[in-house]
Amino acid sequence: MTTPRYHHGNLRSALLEAGLRIAAEAGPAALQVRDLAKAEQVSASAVYRHFPDLAHLSAEVARLARQQLAQAMLDAAEAESPGPDAGWHAIRRFDAIGRAYVAFAVRSPRLFDTAFQTPEAPPSCDDAPSAWTVLTDALDALVTTGELAPDLRPGAPMVAWAAVHGLASILVRQMVPEPAEERAAMDAVMRGVKRALGLRHA
């Protein structure tokens, strides 16, 4: 039984999911109208019923990729079980968030590239969830529990994000001449971030 091709129902979201799959496998440059349409067994021109052009579709895929990253960070934070020491819990959540960021990039390097590619079209809406918000919320929790000195708070997002994003980029691009172990690099960087912010660390 061959299903009728007509009136897919949710072609728009199906195309975006196919886009995520393709981008994760072959990188953002592999996002092509024909391939996307083929993946959903639909003619290329059908794509234009749902997106004005490829640039807008790509921008949506990039946004979804960033949201997946942010969700992975949230999930990692939630996986940390609370304990009697609220400050320590906040630190563990912060640590888990940073490690999730890098782990996402290592696990899906091309999707990570897709997430932060230079966009050719503006995204239709803000990221939800957003990695930035996840990070700043975690930093706020550190201040609230007294783990992070308030005068370090303004610069903290940049310090943390730069370290983690930089490590992710370096590992993804394999920029290091001597191929360091990812685990050791992640430990060193996360320890560095905590030292930079004056946090306790094990």
Partner DNA sequence: TGTACATCAGTGAACGCGCGTTCACTGATGTAC
Binding site for a second copy (CB under 8 A): 27, 113, 116, 118, 130, 132, 154-156, 158-159, 161-170, 173, 175-177, 180, 184-185, 187-189, 191-193, 195-198
Q: Which does 11 bind (CB under 5 to 8 A by kind): a second copy, DNA, none?
A: DNA
Name residues contacting DNA, limited to 4-43 (CB under 7 A). Answer: 4-9, 11, 31-35, 37, 41-43
Q: Which does 173 bind (CB under 5 to 8 A by kind): a second copy, DNA, none?
A: a second copy
Query: Could you tell me if 121 and 56 are in contact, meaning their C-beta atoms sit under 8 angstroms apart?
Result: yes
Query: Could you tell me if 55 and 110 are in contact, meaning their C-beta atoms sit under 8 angstroms apart?
Result: no
Is 183 a binder of DNA (CB under 7 A)? no
Give the chain's largest Cα–Cα span. 67
* Closest CB to a second copy among residues 87, 119: 119
What is residue 74's DSSP assignment? Answer: H
Q: How far is the CB of 21 from a second copy (least distance, A)?
A: 19
The span from the CA of 122 to the CA of 128, in Å, is 15
Enumerate residues 6+ apart whose C-beta is below 8 A from 193. 98, 159, 160, 163, 164
For residue 25 the two structure tokens come to 């496998």
Phi and psi, residue 160, nearest 5°:
-70, -45
Residues in contact with DNA by CB under 7 A are: 4-9, 11, 31-35, 37, 41-50, 53-55
